[in-house]
Structure formats: C-alpha cells, structure tokens
A and B are shown apart, each in its own frame.
Chain A
Amino acid sequence: MKGDRVTGISHRQDQDEFRGATGSLFRIALAPTIWAFHFLFCYAGAAVWCAKFGTPGGIAFLRLSIAGLTVLALLAIAWQGWRSYRQWAPHDHDDHVEGSHRFLGHAALLLSVISFVGVVYVAMPALFIGSCL
C-alpha cells in the first residue's frame, strides 16, 4: 500500500516516454536481433561469395568469416545475457513481487539463452559444408 500521495507522473517523464519505453522493449529484443543480423550476414555472405567467387575460390575464407562473426555474436549475446541477469536477479531490499523492471530483465535473459542456441545452430552448417555446391 503506497498510501495517499500526489501523482508522480511528471510531464517531462512522459515526454521521455518514447525513448524509455522503446529502450526497455528493444532491450529485450536485442539478443534476438543479434541472432537476426548474424543469420542475415551468414546467408548474404554465403550467397554473394558463392555467386561472385564460387567454387574455384573455395569457401575457406567464407567459413572463417562465419566463424569470426559467430564468436562476435555469441560474445555480444553473452554480454547482453549477463546484463539482463543483473537486472533480473533479486536484490536485498526487494519485496518478492517481480516489478516490471525485473520482469524485463528476466525476459531478456531467457531470450539471450534462446538466441545463443539459435546462433550456434545457424553456424553449424559452416562447420560441416566445405563447398558452394
């Protein structure tokens, strides 16, 4: 029970709402977005490489690039997961109800995990496939 008090909704706060709101919503979508870009770069990279340089050039460079890209994406997702974990993990002064801030941290953490797995899946073809055929 918060008791009788005057509204804390300030005009300024509301003006900044778009930035704040989209900020927190996009933060939960950050890890899947990294997955999406990793996916896009792998697909577009392979398409362009195979169309323009093709089989004669071999795809060693392509596979190495995908490996590098994958490491970068996994690091970024792991960092995002860590930040989300910090946002979610309970602090001492918390009552047990999960507030919207912590909830967004929890959702972002779970999405980081799924995106991590997704990136690993998508990178696997480059591990096994050695040509453009």
Chain B
Amino acid sequence: MIDRTPQGIYPPTEAMLAEPVPQDVRDAQEDRLRRVWKTKTGIRYLMTVNNSEVGKWYSLTCFAFMLSAGVLALLMRVQLAFPGMQFLDADRFNQFFTMHGSAMMFLFAVPLFEAMAILILPAFLGARDMPFPRLSAFGYWSFLIGGVFVLGSVLFDAAPKSGWFMYPPLATEDPGVGSDIWLLGLSFIEIASIAAAVELIVGVLKCRPPGMRINTMPLYAWYVLVVGGMILFAFPPLIAGDLLFELERALDWPFFDPARGGDPIFWQHLFWIFGHPEVYIVFLPSVAIAAMIVPTMAQRPIVGYSWIVLSAVGTGFLSFGLWVHHMFTTGLPMISLAFFSAASEAVVIPTGIQLFVFLVTLMVGRVQKSLPLLWIAGGLAIFTAGGLTGIMLAIAPFDWQVHDTYFIVAHLHYTLFGGMVLPVMAGVYYFFPFFTRRQLSVRLGRWAFWLIFGGFNLTFLPMHLTGLLGMPRRVFTYQPDLGWNMLNLVSSVGAFIIAAGFLVFAWDLLRPGKPRLQDPNPWKAGTLEWSATLSDEDWGVRSIPFITSRYPLWDQPRLVERMAEGRYYLPDAPEGHRETLVTSVIDGQPVQVQRVTGDAWITLAAAVFIGGCFILPTFHLYVAGAISGLLGVACIIYWLWTSTARIPDKEMKDAGLGLRLPTYAAGPQSVGWWAMWITMLGDATAFASIVFGFFFYWTAGTDFPPAGADHADGMLVLLSTLLLTVSWAMTMAARRLNRRGSVTGARAALVAAPLAALAGGGLLVLSVLDLSPTSHVYPAVICALVIWTGAHVLVGVLMQGYCLAGLVFGKIDPDHDADLWNVSLFWHFHVLTVLVTAAVIGLAPRLL
C-alpha cells in the first residue's frame, strides 16, 4: 500500500503566511491558473462545466421559466377579472393553472435553490469549484431539456390539466398525453435535482477551506446540508409514485383504481410526503440567503449561530410530519388527522426561532438601510402573515371549511412569496455585485420592490375573503350574483402590478451599461465570497485560504491580500489540471488534492440521450426511448471511464505552505464514495416508498392479498435471493483480494459476480411471470417491486463489469481501487433491497 498520510506542516504559522511570494513566481502561477480555468468561447462555450457559468445559466433559465409561469397566471387573472368572461375556455384554463403550479414549483422554486447554491456555495467555501462540476452541468442540461419539454406542451394544447398534484382518478383517466408529459418530464428533472443535492452535500462536507470547522462554516452551508438531506428523503417517494402512476397509465396496472383493489389515496400520500417537505425545501434556502444578508447589514456576527442550526435541522425533520394536513378532508380517522395537526403546530417553533434570531441581530447591530434589507423586511412581513393563516389551516375543522377555496390560494402564495420570492430577490440584489462586478440600480430596485410588494398584497389579501365567501379554486368562471365580483377584479388588477414590478426588475437585470463596482466588497461583508478582486477571473479563488473565524473578512486581517497574492493553498497548477482541496468533515483538516473534471461535450450528450429516454415514451415510442437510454448510459460510462478516479502521475503533491497531500483517495476518504452513499440513501427511500405501498394496501383494503390469489413462486424467490447474495459476496471478495494484491483472484470474483447476479435477477423475474398485474393491485405491487429490484440488478452488473474492465485495463490496481469501493457500497445497499423484496413478495403474503 502506498502511504498517503499528509506530510509537512499544518496548521500554517503566521511567519509562513507572512512570507512574500516573488512577483515573477506570482505572474507565472497566475498565468498557469488562468490557462487551466479559462472559459471557452464560441460554440465551445456550451462545453463549460465551471460552477460560475453553469450557475448563471441555471439561474437565468429558472427566471425565464418563472416569467413564463407568471404569464400563465396573468392570463388566468384576465379570465377571472369579471364573471362569465370568455377569454379562456375551461380546458385551457385547466392547462394553465396546472402548468402555473407545476412550473413554479418544479421549474423555478426547487431548481433555483440548486442554481443559486451552485453559483455561490464554492465562493462561500473558498473552493475553486464543486467536487463534481460535470454533474452540475449534466443536471443543468437535464433541467433545461425537461423544463422546455414540460412547459412547451402548453403551446401545443397538450399540457397536463389535472392540477399540479395530479390526483387520480382525474389524472390517470385523462385521455391526452398531458399526464404522461407531467410524469415523465418532471421525473427526469427530479432525478437531476437529486444529483444536485448529492453534489451540494458532498461540497459542504468535504470541500471547505482548511481550518473551517463545522461550527465556523457560513450558515448558508448549514441550510444547504439540511435541504440537500431533505431532497434525498422527499423526492424519491414522488419518483416511486411517478413510476407506479406511469405503470397504470401505460400498462393498466391498477395501483390507484379502487375497482381492482387500488386506492387513489395512496397517490395523495406519496405526493404529499414529497409535497410538504418541498415547501420547506423551497423556504429554507431563501432563509439561508437572509442569514447571510442580515449579519452584513447589521455589521455584526449573527446572534445565536447554534439556534439557527437548531431551527434549520429541526424544521427539516418536523416538516416530514405534516403531509396529511393536505389531506384533512379525505376521511382518515380523526386521531390520525390530529397527529398531523399537532406536528403542523409544532413546526412553527423552529421556523419562528430563525426569524427572531434575525430580528435580534438587527436590533443589536448598526443597521445600514439598503435594498437587500428592504426585500428581506418585506419578505418577513408577508411570510409571517402566511404563517399565521397556516396555523389556522393546521386546525382540521377550520381546514374543512376552507379546503379547496381561494383562502388556500391566498395562504400558499403568502408563504411562497414571503418565504421564497422576496428573500431570493434580496439575494439577487445582494449578490449581484459578486456575480458580475457591477451594481444594480437602487432607484429601479425600490420601484420594483414597491410594485411587487404592493401588487402582491392587492392581489392576494382579498383572496382570503374570496375564499371565505366560498369561491372554490380552479374554477374557470363564476356567476355574477355571488358577491365575488369586486374582490376578483381587485386581485386581477394587483396581478398586473406585480408583473410591472418584475418587468422593472428584469430590465434592470438585463440592461447594458450598469456601473462597474468600485469596491470589491460593497456591503462590507465578512464572508469569503467577497474576497475576490475586481478583475474577473475564472479560477474562483487565487489561493485557498486558511480560515479561523466565521467572518474571516472581518476577523482575519490581511486575508484578502494574502489570498490574492497566492500565499495560501493550491496557488498554482503546474500539471495543468483543475484541482480543489478536500478536507475532513468536522474540523476541516486538509486531506487530499482532488482533480476535478473539466469542460466536455459528453455531459451535454448524456443529458440529451437520457432526456430522450424519458421524453420519447410519452409518445409511445418505446423502442426509440430504450435506444436513447442505452446511448445515454454509454455516454455516462465513457465520461466515468475517461475522467474519474484516474491513477495520478504523482501520488503526493505539494499543496503549498509546506504541506504535501495525496492526489488519490478510495473508500470513505474519497468524495466519490460519499456521493455514492448519499445517492443510495435516496434510492433506498424510493424503494421504501413502494414497500410502504404494499403495507398501505394491506391496511386500507380488506382483500389484500385477495383470497386464493397467486403468489410469487417461493422456491424461485429463495434461489434468486441466494444467487444475488453470492454476487454481493463476490463483489466484496474482489475488493478484498485486489487490496491484498491478488489481482487474478479479484478478476475471477468479478467474472463470477455478474453471472450470479444475472441468474438471480432472471429467477426473480421468472418467479412472478405467471402473475397478471392488470387483474388486481396485489400482483401489480409485487411486479413493481420485481421491476425495481431487477433494474438495480442490471445496474449492479454494469458496475461489476466496469470494475472487471478496470482491473483488466489497469484503471484499478491494488493501490487504486476507488471504483471497487464505490461498487461494493452500491451492492451493500442492493443486497438489502433484495432481502427486503424477497421478504415482502415471498414471505409476507403467506404470513398476513
């Protein structure tokens, strides 16, 4: 084994930091860094994977989707301005409100979190880039393709029209392609979201600058960690639900059809297990922006750092206990409703704590009045109002009165505007000088604020009353004698005032000739993103600093100057590789120099083909979809093979300041292993959702499993489980043998492992071949579990083959076995999936 212990001196001494870098050395270093990180021009600009470019594309795309969804809202408000209007017909109105909700949630609110985080997180952490830049780019292209596909459907009169939560049977029975577009297009985007979450979590845990302990990292990073974790547990249930839903649409498997044992309520559970945490997934990153702006505006550290961490983590957990408050009118037992009512009231405590922390910080600080603070203040006011109606709605009897009325529409817009839109606007005004080295106009900013804030209240405040007067949401028109006329007209006028505000903002954002920044730190902030100099460089940071404080720019004098002179870590790129520093999770000790991937077409190609795999089946082009999927997989394998876990030329590298660090890591030390671990956590959640379905049907129905039903063949299930367990053991053996230097033994194990897995997977499929999944939900859910496990067998076999090829072609050897570690980790999770599947389809039906 190669000794990869970090060597040299850490932490650096003051004398080392004070030592000047000669001018000619500096110039040569800067030259090399500039060449390595240079952004390509012309058509090759599209190959870019650097976080600052991808983040800009991502944010602007989100903004464009938001404006489109906003236009749909305006058209709806025109239709509702007067009773009996003929502006939109009912069908188009249905498409518009469905797309407005879906686009605002899936194409704006959640992706914008990812976009902003990709854009600013590396700067907060003094990192050159995210740990997996190509994954960010892949996520962006997937988002763009999926988003254009879903939103574009509205232009062809083919959009989904069952509301943004797609309740069956309305959505399952919908004759057009709308529901399929929603299911497949948004599943594709959700997978991209999970990819972004994995990248952001690993980024926060492993790519902080040396010395930045977990208790000194910026609060934004805490929120990213919590929200990333929430995405991992919230999105997979919806992906599992989408799978079941599409199986019902395409193959008539009756998951949500009560006539054959299914239950539409099951979709509501899966949707809201995703949907409610999602509200907080949208809200917390915006609070995170406030948590960065408030200390700067108060010119003092945040009061109660630990309390913010408490509220972020606490809200993250409690938000998973609220989902049934969207289902108070579905006839669940009263005691069940009451649990969710109680949890909905409890979540107010952590949510409130962070708002009070902001207020206290502002009270004890020296507040600078500024545009970002104005937006934050407006956001807090609106959010508080939305929170108060939320407390009313959490009480079940009140909810029964106003369920599905405009009161709900008012409430949710108050929480989302106050909790998300306005803080994000504050963030845009605050961070704009950092992104572009230019300032937005204060005068136009004030205009935009007052138009949006005033217009918002004019639109949505009356809606509370419209709802209490009984106007249901999602109706395309109403009778003139119900007392809703004036209220609706006022709301419609207000909507156009909001739109005017956004036009002012968009003009300010995109107009040329904004003044250049004079001071690199215009707000006198204390966090690392303001350490960049005025010259616009692509390298992120000139050198990666050693951090000892939560607000290094306030507390560490000369830090900015020393960073710019390249006196800290990784000031050079002598090998011509893009690199960033990997540090330990709790204390931020440097452990590795990580080579990060560079610009490439392959990520774009992979996104196009994987996109095809989701989009083509919408039009029943299953063969073309499968071919596209295979091409996508081929692209991803090429991308992994050529640019990840490469055996380095030099095992150790000078990282600067007398520290030598390894350039390769495997297993728990490597960022790839962490990413696999986090991904599999999400994957396991999706699987658990399908297993939950099995027990849900057992609880909810009296005939599950139906008397005399055919079961999966017990003997075949047992054999298949044995073979797959052998395959798992062989994979472990391959890793161990390779580590011990027995490469031949490892190769033999990796030949046996996929054969056993394929045989096991085949037997698993055979065990259910006689069942008829269209007849009843029982065989359908058994077959869904087999599809899930079988697909994972194929992925596992592919991974084993990849490692075998790695051993044969010298990509993996006893000293460089990162791929084997990652694949073994996949198989650990997979063997658990296999055992649970076997227990559920083989044992449970015979016991229940």
Contacts and interface: CB of A to CB of B under 8 A. Distances in A.
Contacts of A42: 339
A125 B309 CA distance: 29
Contact of B317 (A36, A125, A131, A133): A36
Nearest to B700: A51
Interface in B304-347: 306-307, 309-310, 313-314, 316-318, 320-321, 332-336, 338-343, 345-346
Interface string A34-70: 0110010011001110111000000100100000000
Interface class of chain B by DSSP: helix
A132 B335 contact: yes
Interface in B282-321: 306-307, 309-310, 313-314, 316-318, 320-321
B21 interface: no
Interface string A3-28: 11111111100110111110011001
B203 interface: no
Given A14-B584, A126-B335, A7 B346 contact: no
Contacts of B306: 103, 106-107, 110
Contact of B346 (A33, A121, A125, A126): A121
B335 A129 contact: yes
A24 B586 contact: yes
Nearest to B549: A97
B23 interface: no
A43 B213 CA distance: 38
A71 to B, nearest CB: 17
A6 B591 contact: no
Contacts of A36: 317, 320-321
A114 B335 contact: no
Nearest to A124: B342
Contacts of B659: 7
Interface string A111-126: 1001101100110111
Contacts of A128: 338
Nearest to B668: A18
Nearest to B583: A9
B825 to A, nearest CB: 11
B335 A50 contact: yes
Contacts of A81: none
Nearest to A22: B585
A132 B342 contact: no
Given A17-B584, A117-B346, A125-B342, A50 B9 contact: no
B310 A46 contact: no
A110 B307 CA distance: 7
Interface stretch (B10-18, B365-373, B379-387): B10-18
A106 B307 CA distance: 9
B interface, size bucket: 35 or more
Nearest to A24: B586
B86 interface: no
Interface class of chain A by DSSP: helix
B347 to A, nearest CB: 8
A1 B214 contact: no
A76 interface: no
Contact of A9 (B10, B339, B342): B10
A43 B335 CA distance: 8
A52 B333 CA distance: 12
A93 interface: no
Given A9-B589, A103-B306, A51 B314 contact: no
Contacts of B9: 4-7
B590 A9 contact: yes
A78 interface: no
A24 B214 CA distance: 11
B668 A100 contact: no
Interface residues of A, number: 60
B336 A47 contact: yes
B587 interface: yes
A132 B333 contact: yes
Contact of B13 (A4, A28, A131): A4
A131 B674 CA distance: 47
Contact of B336 (A35, A50, A115): A50
A71 B674 CA distance: 36
Contacts of B339: 39, 42-43, 46, 122, 125
A98 B306 CA distance: 11
A91 interface: no
Contacts of B214: 25, 100, 103-104
Nearest to A106: B306
B590 A111 contact: no
Contacts of A129: 334-335, 338
A67 to B, nearest CB: 13
B343 A100 contact: no
A60 B340 CA distance: 20
A29 B313 CA distance: 8
Contacts of B667: 15
Which of B3, B339, B674 counts the most A-chain CB atoms under 10 A from its CB?
B339
Interface string B568-597: 000000000000000011110111000000
A6 B336 contact: no
Contacts of B34: none
A121 B10 CA distance: 49
A1 B11 CA distance: 10
B691 to A, nearest CB: 13
A107 B334 contact: no
Contact of A122 (B346, B350, B585): B346
Nearest to B332: A47
B5 A11 contact: yes
Nearest to B338: A125
A11 B19 CA distance: 29
Nearest to A6: B9
Contacts of B587: 100
B3 A125 contact: no
B669 interface: yes
B313 A122 contact: no
B333 A46 contact: yes
A63 B3 CA distance: 59
B585 A107 contact: no
Contacts of A96: none
A32 B230 CA distance: 13
Contact of A32 (B314, B586, B590, B700): B314
B258 interface: no
Contact of A21 (B335, B342, B584, B700): B584
B589 A122 contact: no
A50 B333 contact: yes
Interface string B692-720: 00000001100000000000000000000
B8 interface: yes
Interface in B654-698: 659, 667-669, 674
B4 interface: yes
B7 interface: yes
B700 A100 contact: no
A106 B350 CA distance: 15
B215 interface: yes
Nearest to B222: A107
B333 A121 contact: no
B669 A21 contact: no
B333 A32 contact: no
Given A3-B13, A51-B700, A129-B335, A21 B205 contact: yes
B343 A118 contact: yes
The 6 closest A-B pairs by CB, nearest first: A125-B338, A103-B215, A21-B585, A18-B668, A32-B317, A110-B310
Interface of A: 1-11, 14-15, 17-21, 24-25, 28-29, 32-33, 35-36, 39, 42-43, 46-48, 50-52, 59, 62, 98-100, 103-104, 106-107, 110-111, 114-115, 117-118, 121-122, 124-126, 128-129, 131-133
Given A4-B13, A111-B310, A128-B338, 18 more contacts: A1-B14, A7-B8, A7-B589, A11-B5, A17-B584, A18-B674, A35-B317, A43-B336, A43-B339, A52-B699, A100-B215, A110-B309, A114-B350, A117-B349, A118-B346, A121-B345, A122-B321, A122-B339
5 contacts: A17-B585, A21-B585, A46-B333, A46-B335, A110-B309
